[in-house]
Amino acid sequence: MADLVPVFRSEERFQNPLFDPPTNGFNLVISDGDTATNVTAARTVVRLSIRAMPDACFEEAVQMVVGRAEAHGLEVEHRSISPFFASADGPLAQAACRATGAAQAVTVPYGTEAECYQEYADALVLGPGNIAQAHTVGEWIAVEQLQEAVEVYTRLIEDLCA
């Protein structure tokens, strides 16, 4: 796996310049079912999440990872979710810009559940908070940011329903 990281970071086919960083991200979790440290676990599960980006050869990256694992005799199960992407020029993004006062929509390099919704309707990621505080111990959002979000959502709904 460590050998694949430089490949994904250096080869343009695995990158999307609209994102910062422009490369797929990895998250590796190893679980032995809470087996005591002095006991060999009967089974260990390794879960690898790769953040998919549009136009970045995601399926090829997945096959490279699966191939590497299988070459070492590991049993592999995998599922893929299409990467989420909303056009900055699309009507929903433009309405969000009007509601927030932003000059333009931007891409963000983190995963959300938005890809689950894009199958059914136009979607985008818009909300209060700071990504630096997300998924951390003591994660929080200031009350003022929540109140401002209500105002933004109200303007967005009014714009879209006009």
* Tens-digit pLDDT profile for residues 128-137: 998 888 888 9
What pTM was estimated for this model as a whole? 0.70
Domains of the chain: 4-71 (no CATH), 91-161 (1.10.150)
* Residue-wise pLDDT tens digits, 18-66: 887 888 777 788 888 888 989 999 888 888 888 778 888 888 988 999 9
Q: What confidence score (pLDDT) does residue 100 get?
A: 97
Q: Token pair 């938005």 is at which residue?
A: 114
* Neighbour count for residue 52 (Cβ, 10 Å): 21
Task: Give start and end residues of each alpha helix (H) in 11-137.
Answer: 58-71, 91-100, 114-117
* Neighbour count for residue 18 (Cβ, 10 Å): 15
Task: Give the C-alpha distances (Å, rounded to integers) separating 112 from 53, 88, 117, 124, 135.
Answer: 12, 17, 10, 10, 12
Q: What confidence score (pLDDT) does residue 39 get?
A: 92
Of 22, 25, 15, the C-alpha closest to 57 is 15
Whether residue 7 is predicted with pLDDT greater than 80 in this model: the reply is: yes
The answer to which of 43-57, 95-109, 141-155 has the lowest mean pLDDT is 43-57
> Do 48 and 54 form a contact (C-beta atoms < 8 A)?
no
- Give the distance from CA 135 to its chain's centroid: 13
Q: What confidence score (pLDDT) does residue 52 get?
A: 77
44's tokens = 């260990």
49's tokens = 């999440």
CA distance 84 to 101: 23
Mean pLDDT on 99-103:
97
CA distance 34 to 52: 30
> Do 80 and 59 form a contact (C-beta atoms < 8 A)?
yes
